[in-house]
Every structure is written in structure tokens, then in C-alpha cells.
Structure 1
């Protein structure tokens, strides 16, 4: 009876494809061992995957046209996979990695954070929030510069209008 209850709970917890693969297993122990082998993987596979993830983490770098939130999404996806595969990864290491690999437009922010010696105390979420605020300020500044350029260009200094009429003076 207990075996049937356990099988029932296992069947409820898995998706349809997995359910169809283990349906012919006779006991809950056999089902559990089968699922453990399928989803747990062996140590060699996990070690290999972790090596790949470490390399991905090392190679991460913010692209010039990338937004802060997009970059953090990529970094956190890799770090979460590393942690779920057994890697002990402190937030400080992630913060340092992000600060090292931000695009050039954030260098003054990085220097400011490093000079304040907050790297050990700042969380990944706090860093992201701070960088998003700076990114929004960049956008406002860029919009302001574009508008100044448009206004300057709009006035123009062309030769049309009240200009030289060939006799040495205006019309």
C-alpha cells in the first residue's frame, strides 16, 4: 500500500513525457532510481558541465550596446546554473566580475564603488539597481544632446534669406 502511495506522489510530480518513460517500472524504488539516474546525472557529467559553466562565467563581458538588465540576466543565468551544479559562488565574486566587465560608459561608476570600498558589502541586486539608475541618466543626457544638436542645426547659417545681392550690401 505504501509503495502505491509513493508511486502516486511520484507520478503527480513529473511531466507527461517522464511519466510515460517510467510507467512500466514496478516499484517506487525502481522509479526513484531511474529518475535519479536520468535527472541526477553522474559525477563526471556534472563536473564537465561545471567546467563549461566556469569558462562561460570567465568569458562574460558586457557588450557596448547592451542594457544593464540584459547583462545581469546573462550573468545570473550562468551563476545560478553553476550554483545548482554544486559550485560555491559568493556574491562578492559575482559583483567583482560584473564590475570588471562592464562597458566603458560605466567606468566612473566602477571607480566610485571601488574607491568607497563597498565591494565586500554591496549585493548583486544593489549593484544592478545603482547601474540601472546611472543608465537612465545616460539616456536623459543623450536625449538632451540630440535636442541641442537639432536646435543648432535647425537655425542654420546657410546663404539663403537676407544675404548678399551682388552690390556689396544686403537687399
Structure 2
């Protein structure tokens, strides 16, 4: 049995290494919307979780805050100063950033 499923363990480790790399290099694209970016990050994170990787929400929240576009710099600073990102949920972060994204759009349309 060990021999039969030993290959699966190696395959799983290889897949996890690929997913870790993909997670590490993820960044928000300049014209990408918050919802789209969260979707990409969560797709990779969920694949990692399904392969037994320890992926706490805090790790995902911190990753997203580090890799947003420059337009969100002040929002990120504000969130980091006013909230504990270690206990912040992914949904809470997404809704906060989506509100700011809407404000950016509104300001751009008014100009």
C-alpha cells in the first residue's frame, strides 16, 4: 500500500510547490478589479488548502495587502494602522477594498 500511494505523496508535494510559487508571484494587475483579484488569490489558496497546506486567512489577507496596485497604497496604510490584520477576515478586507474602489471610480468619473 505504501508503495502504491507513495507516488501520490510525491505528486502532492510537487503540486504544492507549484501552487506555492504561483501564490508567491500573484500581484494585482493595473486594470484588474478587486473582485477579480480576490478570485484569483482564493482559487490558488483553496487549491493549496485542498492539498493540506496550512493557509490561515491572515496569510491571505497579508498577501493581498502587499500586492495591491499603487492606487490602494493609502487604503492599505489605513487598514494596517486601524485594524488587526491577523484577525481580519478575507470577506471584511474584500468589502472594505471594494468600497474604496467604488470611490475611486466615482472620483474619476466626476473629474
Shorter-normalised TM range: over 0.9
Please state if 1:50 is matched with 2:50: no
How much is the aligned-residue C-alpha RMSD, in angstroms? 1.6
1:49 Cα deviation from its structure 2 partner: 0.2
1:112 Cα deviation from its structure 2 partner: 0.4
Q: Which runs of 4+ in 1 moved over 3 A?
A: none
Aligned residues: 108
- Of Structure 1 and Structure 2, the greater helix share is in 2
Please state if 1:82 is matched with 2:52: no
* Aligned residue among 85, 93, 96 for 1:127: 93
- Asked which structure has the greater CA Rg, the reply is 1
Higher relative contact order structure (alpha carbons within 8 Å, sequence separation ≥ 6): 2
Residue 78 of structure 2: aligned partner: 112
1:117 Cα deviation from its structure 2 partner: 3.8
Q: Which runs of 5+ in 2 are unaligned?
A: none
Map Cα deviations across residues 113-165 of structure 1 (whole Å, 9 max, x no partner).
111142122100100001011000111000000xxxxxxxxxxxxxxxxxxxx
What is the alpha-carbon distance in structure 1 between the residues aligned to residue 33 and residue 83 of structure 2? Answer: 25
